[in-house]
Amino acid sequence: MIVTLDQRLFEPGLLPLKFVFAANERSHVLLTDPEWDASDASQPVQIWLNGQPKDIRDAGEKELERGLDEAANMGASVARIRVEPIVASRWEDGKLSPDDALRLMQTPLWLMLENGRSDLEFVRRILEVNDRAALNEHLAAGRVEVPPSGGTGVLKLFLESLATLPAKPLLSGDIANWIRRLRTWVMFDRDAHPNDPRRPSKTSEDLREICAIMTRPRPFPGHQLGRRTIENYLPFEALDHWAGGGDGAERQERRRRVDAFKSSDFGGLRRVCFAMKDGFIKDVAQSIRDEFKQRGFRQRKIKGAWTSSALKRPRTRERWLEESELPAVFQGMAHSTHRHHLRRGFGTKIAELFADKALNDIYFQSVFDADPVAAAWRRGLVESLWAVL
């Protein structure tokens, strides 16, 4: 974040020093208006520097020089605030009082994610190596935090509280929420519309629209996934690795699921909106989901030998899903066996592959190399993240 100090703030005292320390500790870029010129002894900032002990003067000059160097390489999208000698901040204009600006600078950036653990691993995987190391450093230093996840319902309430703030807050809670609004970055699933999995769910669209409302003092960084979930960005190599797990019949079944998913018969369009965890069962009518759920319950009961009578019952087999029971996007495959193998997806733990150290980064990068739309989405996501840090 770029913090521009009105030079009228450089009066005798500790206030300028507080901004120097805050910028250094929290990795913000510190500028002045007018721009600092060390050769101009009449500038308030230079008068202040010249009046400080050598150690403080050196620290101040070093921070101001760093600010000029880093700002020269930053784009227009980088988050900015201006600090002026005012009592009440003008939040929608991005013009803050010294006290509010210092609180903002010291506040860690929140990465608001639907699932803090797996979504964070996804973000790490899609970053270049140097950017990932920088993010990890920010996390370790406490400059970035990932608050506990509460699902889309909690996320919606949180975003609504940020989107309805008064332009002139009178309560301390409103000021705290304005600071939080400026120090939050959000990513959420696109999910799937019940009538067409190619479209976002209403819940996801509601989140996107709430984020879009917040345009001042800058567009709020809320990001809807370009695909249904993070699992839809898993590379084939990761799924092949998953298929090698288990043993015997389980491994064979995993292999058949992955091969069906990778097949040209299934195709790229369906992969983008497929329910990776639950499979086709996720997108069929509720009555069919209930039927398969009950069949799965009976199979688990027999397998676990919960009662002696259960052992005597014949093992039930799931019927094949009919093509007409699936949404239109999943109809039209030439091989009905693919439809059968993908009925249940890859399980609830499939996102753990993003954290699997046995998988090379190049596999995850190749997903974006092969898809220009996904690559553009990732580029915007990464630029947005660094813009608010």
Give SS3 for 47. Answer: helix
Q: Which residues contact 245 (CB under 8 A, 6 or more apart)?
A: 251, 254
- Please identify, among 80, 105, 130, the residue that sits at the C-terminal boundary of a domain: 105
What is the overall mean pLDDT for the chain?
93
Let me know if residue 240 belongs to a domain. Answer: no
CA distances from 264 to 105, 233, 259, 338 (A): 51, 17, 10, 11
Task: Identify whether residues 273 and 332 lie together within a single domain.
Answer: yes
Percent of the residues in the chain that have a pLDDT greater than 70, as a whole number = 94
237 within some domain: no
Strands 80-83 and 95-96, by their bridges, are parallel
Is there a domain that residue 236 lies in?
A: no
Q: How confident is the model at residue 308 (pLDDT cuts 50, 70, 90)?
A: very low
pLDDT at 31: 98
| Residue 245, in any domain of the structure | no
Interacting residues of 206 by C-beta distance below 8 A, sequence separation 6+: 156
Each residue's pLDDT tens digit, 15-39: 999 999 999 999 999 999 999 999 9
> Are 68 and 53 members of one domain?
yes
**Residues 137 and 65 grouped into a single domain:** no
- Token couple for 138: 């920010």
Q: Which helix (H) or strand (E) segment is 12 a member of?
A: none
Residue 313 has pLDDT above 50, yes or no: no
Q: Do 193 and 44 share a structural domain?
A: no
Residues 206 and 274 in one domain: no
pLDDT on residue 322? 94
Domain stops at, among 55, 79, 105: 105
Mean pLDDT of 378-384: 96
**Domain membership flag for residue 238:** no
User: What is the predicted pLDDT for the residue at 50?
Assistant: 96
Q: Examine the domain organization and report whether 356 and 278 are in the same domain.
A: yes
312 in any annotated domain: yes
- Provide the 8-state DSSP code for 35: P
Q: Locate 95 and state its tokens.
A: 């013009």
Same domain (yes/no): 117, 101: no
Within this chain, do residues 170 and 135 fall inside the same structural domain, yes or no? yes
pLDDT of 246: 81
Integer Cα distance of 308 and 316 in angstroms: 17
Condensed to tens digits (0 to 9), the pLDDT of residues 88-105 reads 999 999 999 999 999 999
Residue 166 maps to a domain: yes
Contacting residues for 321 by C-beta, under 8 A, at least 6 apart:
280, 281, 284, 288, 339, 340, 343
Same domain, 352 and 375: no
316 pLDDT band, cuts 50/70/90, is low
**pLDDT given at position 304:** 53
- State whether 149 and 215 are in the same domain: yes
Taking the CA atoms of residue 124, residue 129, residue 135 and residue 136 in that order, the dihedral angle to the nearest 10 degrees is: 80
What is the share, in percent, of the chain residues with pLDDT greater than 90?
A: 87
pLDDT, tens digit, 9 for 90 and up, residues 355-365: 999 999 999 99
Query: How does pLDDT run across 220-246, given as a tens digit for each residue?
Result: 999 999 999 999 999 999 999 999 998
Nearest by Cα to 265 from 345, 340, 338, 346: 338
Whether residue 11 sits in one domain with residue 39 = yes
Confidence of residue 247 (pLDDT cuts 50, 70, 90): confident
Say how many C-beta atoms besides its own lie within 10 A of residue 16's C-beta: 24
Is the pLDDT assigned to residue 42 strictly greater than 80?
yes
Domain annotation covers residue 163: yes
Q: How many domains does the chain have?
A: 3
Task: Give the pLDDT of residue 175.
Answer: 96
- Is the separation of the CB atoms in 37 and 65 below 8 Å? no
pLDDT of 297 strictly over 80: no
The more confidently predicted of residues 24 and 248 is: 24
Can the peptide bond before residue 217 be classed as cis, meaning omega within 30 degrees of 0? Answer: yes
pLDDT at res. 296: 60
Q: Which domain holds residue 265?
A: 251-360
